[in-house]
A and B are shown apart, each in its own frame.
Chain A
Amino acid sequence: MSFSFDIYDFTSFTKWIDVSLTSYCTPFWAMIWEMLIIGVAILIFYAVVGLFLVYAERKVCAFIQNRVGPNRVGPYGFIQTVADLVKLLFKELVTIKKADKFLFNLAPFIVIIVNFMVIAAIPFAKGLHAVNFNIGIFYMMAVSSMGVIGILLAGWSSNNKFSLIGAMRSGAQIVSYELSVGLSMITMVILAGTMQLTNTYDPVTNQVLVHGIVDLQKDGWFIFTGHLPAIIAFVIFLIAGTAETNRGPFDFAEAESELTAGFHTEYSGIKFALFYLSEFMNMFIVASIAATIFWGGWMPFHLGHIFGDWVSGFNNVMDYIPPFVWYIGKTFVIIWIIMLFKWTFPRLRIDQLLTLEWKYLLPINLINIILMALVVLMGWHF
Chain B
Amino acid sequence: MKSIIEYISGIYRGLRSLLIGMSVTGKYFFSPRAIVTQQYPENRHGHGKRSKKQLVMFDRFKGEVVMPHDANNQHKCTGCGICEINCPNGTIEIISVSKVGEDGKKKRAIEKHIYRLGMCSFCALCVKTCPSKALEFSQEFEHAVFDRTKLVKVLNKPGSSLMKGVE
Contact = CB atoms under 8 A, between A and B. Distances in A.
B13 to A, nearest CB: 13
Given A60-B29, A340-B29, A68 B37 contact: yes
B18 A345 contact: yes
A71 B22 contact: no
Contacts of B24: 344
B118 interface: no
B50 interface: yes
Contacts of B37: 66-68
B101 interface: no
A340 B28 contact: no
Contacts of B18: 344-345
Contact of A344 (B22, B32, B34, B36): B22
A60 B25 CA distance: 10
A321 interface: no
Interface in B78-120: none
Contacts of B46: none
A165 B34 CA distance: 40
Nearest to A336: B29
B35 A63 contact: yes
Q: Is the interface of B mostly helix, strand, loop or mixed?
A: helix
A52 interface: no
A360 interface: yes
B29 A64 contact: yes
Contact of B28 (A66, A68, A71, A341): A66
Contacts of B11: 360, 364
Given A344-B21, A344-B22, A68 B39 contact: yes
B50 A343 contact: no
A345 B29 contact: no
Question: Interface residue tally of chain A, by bracket?
Answer: 10 to 19
Interface in A305-353: 340-341, 343-345
B12 to A, nearest CB: 12
Interface residues of B, number: 16
Interface in B34-72: 34-37, 39, 50
A67 B29 contact: no
A381 to B, nearest CB: 24
A238 to B, nearest CB: 11
A165 B14 CA distance: 29
A344 B35 contact: no
Interface in A66-85: 66-68, 71
B29 A71 contact: no
Nearest to B14: A360
Interface string B5-35: 0000001000000100110111011001011
Nearest to A363: B7
Contacts of A343: 25
B32 A340 contact: no
Given A66-B34, A360-B11, A344 B39 contact: no
Contacts of A63: 28-29, 32, 35
Contacts of A344: 18, 21-22, 24-25
A340 B39 CA distance: 25
A60 B24 CA distance: 14
B39 to A, nearest CB: 7
Interface in A46-60: 60
B35 A345 contact: no
Contacts of B34: 66
A341 B26 CA distance: 10
Contacts of A66: 28, 34-37
Contacts of B50: 71
A250 to B, nearest CB: 14
A360 B11 CA distance: 8
B26 to A, nearest CB: 6
A360 B10 CA distance: 10
A66 B28 CA distance: 7
24 contacts: A63-B28, A63-B35, A64-B28, A64-B29, A66-B28, A66-B34, A66-B35, A66-B36, A67-B35, A68-B35, A68-B39, A71-B39, A71-B50, A340-B22, A340-B25, A340-B26, A340-B29, A343-B25, A344-B18, A344-B21, A344-B22, A344-B24, A345-B18, A345-B21
Given A64-B25, A65-B28, 16 more contacts: A63-B28, A63-B35, A64-B29, A66-B28, A66-B34, A66-B36, A68-B35, A68-B37, A71-B39, A71-B50, A340-B25, A341-B22, A344-B18, A345-B18, A345-B21, A360-B11
Closest 6 CB pairs of A and B: A344-B25, A68-B37, A64-B25, A63-B29, A344-B21, A66-B36
